[in-house]
A and B are shown apart, each in its own frame.
Chain A
């Protein structure tokens, strides 16, 4: 049995002025014990999808199930079995760290002691502050407490909506290490993010843009769909180089990527020689060009343009 099944889910929001199509017929499924990433920018529909799966929002049409239970008919069973960490910090700010955890344990008819093993490693990091009010914690500590509260009833599926937004690179890395340890406990994890580089940390990903899935696959699988050769170039004047390449009629796209620009041509032959000539004509100093493998961001941008 799949942990999550989503079939042709549509969700629209009506405002005074117009109709916003948040999800335009989304279908995918998640295997038990998988870390499944929903990857896309703000406004892509990630939160709507999570709210539908956690039974706090109704879809217009389509169906979805979590652990075999229907999100509409069986919402009560689902609520017992899942953990949900919304994007916005949603614990009680005026309860202490320990009080929040006790509160969530009690609601789910359990105790901290019963499932302490599951949260122990994370909770120990915030335990020195257990009497501090949640509202007075730093961002990183709030995030750890929220994760503990979402785990304290030993959920079978964990929903994490943008847990690493606005979090620095070190804390992001630590958070992902925690998720991989939870996976070992057999928990299925659905996690959304706008950081493309986190795709590689998931077993499979769904790339989402404007309410539509662009691709559902392993990171490797997504990357293997990128068919054209990709070139990384650099020179001393990067901005001028980018404009020169973009102006070339044979070039499909040229985007900055860290120290390099990534270039894709419309057609396949002799791209390298062409770029070298372009650099020579434009008098670019310290020009370098090499063929490279695309990463998930290259793929996302290519899929966005299709």
Chain B
């Protein structure tokens, strides 16, 4: 039986004037899959991700996210996805529980649901004593874990993680990945970009973008076989070094 597809993209393209940021990309992501979306700075990852999140209209091609069309149903897409990036995720001058309440509200949860979710989430993250702490006073690792948990507070079909884990110690980074595994086991699809190549190896499948195209897409083990490499780092370097484009 074919698995349910949470993302489908067919010849998806975005041009800015004469510049083709995303060049004819085609791929599917299955329900519950952890999908790594890799590429050097400037390869077109962010543009592709913005189209899939319903924030940017494609120039041509088709795509659906959680069953909704990226051209016509971008409002429904926004309601059915979660998003987290390291650059922006939580409000620093709101407390832990205020952030949960705020995002719960934004994602359309009812008051009683928010109450239940808040209790669950605080317990899961061992933050019961920190409920009234301003987010700015939390250590970076806790912020990242909280931001991820809040991004899936409405049980979305899919969550987009844009470089979620920079700068934390190796134990905290792994605790974060445990949360990702748990969410995936619950059926939430994970779409993640990262500069850590060992994290790429945690993904079920990864795609590697070069100059706006997807030049490789497979399970990490298969990619290593195809490129006769011993790590994803080597695979990435082989592909990304072919890039003509430079910069962000």
Contact = CB atoms under 8 A, between A and B. Distances in A.
15 contacts: A17-B137, A40-B169, A41-B140, A41-B167, A42-B168, A138-B41, A138-B248, A139-B247, A141-B247, A165-B167, A170-B40, A195-B196, A242-B178, A259-B221, A301-B171
A173 interface: yes
B187 interface: no
Interface stretch (A24-32, A54-62, A250-258, A274-282): A250-258
Interface of A: 17, 40-44, 137-141, 165-173, 194-197, 209, 238-239, 242, 255-259, 297, 300-301, 304
B41 A171 contact: yes
Nearest to B201: A258
Contact of B237 (A170, A238, A255, A258): A170
Contact of B240 (A41, A169, A256): A169
A301 B243 CA distance: 35
B140 A168 contact: no
Contacts of A169: 40, 195, 197, 233, 236-237, 240
Nearest to B240: A170
Interface string B176-211: 011001101100000000011110011000000000
Nearest to A299: B170
Contact of A255 (B40, B171, B236, B248): B171
Contact of B168 (A41, A167, A170): A41
A237 to B, nearest CB: 10
B139 A166 contact: no
Contacts of B177: 256
Interface in B131-184: 137, 139-141, 163, 166-172, 174, 177-178, 181-182, 184
B201 to A, nearest CB: 3
Given A138-B248, A169-B233, A259-B221, A43 B140 contact: yes
A166 B163 contact: yes
Contact of B139 (A43, A173, A195, A258): A43
Interface string B22-50: 00000000000000000111100000000
Interface residues of B, number: 42
A219 B212 CA distance: 38
B246 interface: yes
B139 A259 contact: no
A125 to B, nearest CB: 9
Given A169-B40, A301-B171, A304-B171, A258 B166 contact: no
Contacts of A170: 40, 236-237, 240-241, 243
Contacts of B139: 43
Given A139-B247, A139-B248, 5 more contacts: A138-B41, A165-B167, A170-B236, A194-B167, A239-B182
A29 B201 CA distance: 37
Interface majority SS (helix, strand, loop, mixed), chain A: mixed
A41 B172 contact: yes
A44 B169 CA distance: 9
A295 to B, nearest CB: 10
B92 to A, nearest CB: 14
Given A256-B177, A258-B201, A258-B231, A301 B166 contact: no
B40 A166 contact: no
B174 A256 contact: yes
A282 B169 CA distance: 31
B81 interface: no
A169 B168 CA distance: 18
A196 B199 CA distance: 13
Contacts of B232: 258
Nearest to B220: A259
Given A171-B41, A304-B169, A304-B171, A42 B248 contact: no
A61 to B, nearest CB: 26
A168 B40 contact: yes
5 tightest A-B CB contacts, nearest first = A138-B247, A258-B201, A41-B169, A42-B167, A239-B181
A168 B163 CA distance: 11
Contacts of A44: 169
Interface string B214-248: 00000011000000000111001100110100111
A140 B41 contact: yes
A168 B41 contact: yes
A267 to B, nearest CB: 22
Contact of A140 (B170, B184, B197, B246): B246
Given A43-B139, A168-B195, A138 B174 contact: no
A258 B198 contact: yes
Contacts of A255: 170-171, 174
Contacts of A138: 41-42, 246-248
Contacts of A141: 246-247
